[in-house]
Amino acid sequence: MSTIATMTADELAHAGLRLSVDGVVATITLDRPAVRNAQVPRLWAGMARILRELGDDVRVVVVRGAGGTFSAGLDLSLLDPAQAEEEGNFIATLASSDQEIIDQIAIYQEPFALLSDPRFITVAVVEGHAIGAGFQLALCCDLRIVADDARFCMKEPALGLVPDLVGTKPLVAAVGYARALEICASARVVSGAEAGEIGLAQVVAPAAELDGALAAMVEALTAHPHGAVSATKALLQDAPARSLDDQRLAERTAQVKRFRALAGR
């Protein structure tokens, strides 16, 4: 498959996204800076389409926000009853059955889940705010490069909601159950510096140095054979859910594929 996604420039702009592909690195930029990159269903649909259409030669997918902030989360107009007829308005969906709403949220969750595809490694570059759906988007990436003054906040409980965009599992994996609960239940701000200390961020740097840190990370992530890195990502992802014996079997099975790939048979 080609590395060039099929979305037109107009479709990308309508979704509030920018896409660039440079060699084996694709960069998806949330591009609604006037509303601090707030997220709407058409943005999620666009992101899902990009991630599905990226070619097999893409090794790293970078997710970042335009205008010095990552994302202010859900576009709050979607919770405004006065705009109930607008695309994806959550109040309007309440006329549907529970199952229909559950099915709709499953569609919204797709791009968040696709970020864990073992074909590539996903890296969130976070500066400014990562609130609610923005925090979850960063969590769904494999790795986070974070400005020391970035501000994460899981705002959903403060709004009477739960985080439902695939962020709860990676949050628990990153910081453990107790810290995850404390962060979510209090809806407090976690600084970039703290994110580094508690294992939420893999790299913390001043905002001006994020691009340099990203370049170094990309170089390291792409230095070794793609097939070995993808298969290792898959092994590590599935390890927590497997018994030791099942994980040993998965390692052996994956290694046979690597042997054959290396030997060309």
Nearer to ligand CAA, 161 or 236 (CB): 161
**Stretch 67-86: interaction string toward ligand CAA, x if CB under 6 A:** -----xxxxxx---------
Nearer to ligand CAA, 24 or 187 (CB): 187
Identify the residue whose tokens are 């994302």.
71
State the residue number with the nearest CB to ligand CAA: 132
Nearer to ligand CAA, 36 or 64 (CB): 36
**Three-state SS across the chain?**
CCCCCCCCHHHHHHHCEEEEEECCEEEEEECCHHHCCCECHHHHHHHHHHHHHCCCCCCEEEEEEHHHCCECCECHHHHCHHHCCCCCCCCHHHHCCHHHHHHHHHHHHHHHHHCCCCCCEEEEEECCEEECHHHHHHHHCCEEEEECCCEEECCHHHHCCCCCCCCHHHHHHHHCHHHHHHHHHHCCEEEHHHHHHCCCCCEEECHHHHHHHHHHHHHHHCCCCHHHHHHHHHHHHHHHHCCHHHHHHHHHHHHHHHHHHHHCC
Q: Within positions 93 to 122, which residues make up the interface with ligand CAA, using CB under 6 A? A: none
Residue 66 touching ligand CAA (CB under 6 A):
no
Number of residues near ligand CAA (by CB under 6 A) = 17
Q: Within positions 17 to 46, which residues make up the interface with ligand CAA, using CB under 6 A? A: 35-36, 38
Q: Smallest distance from the beta carbon of 77 to ligand CAA, in angstroms?
A: 6
Nearer to ligand CAA, 19 or 150 (CB): 150
Nearer to ligand CAA, 59 or 129 (CB): 129
Q: Smallest distance from the beta carbon of 76 to ligand CAA, in angstroms?
A: 4
Q: Within positions 147 to 176, which residues make up the interface with ligand CAA, using CB under 6 A? A: 155-156, 159, 161
Chain residues that interact with ligand CAA, rule: CB under 6 A: 35-36, 38, 72-77, 129, 131-133, 155-156, 159, 161
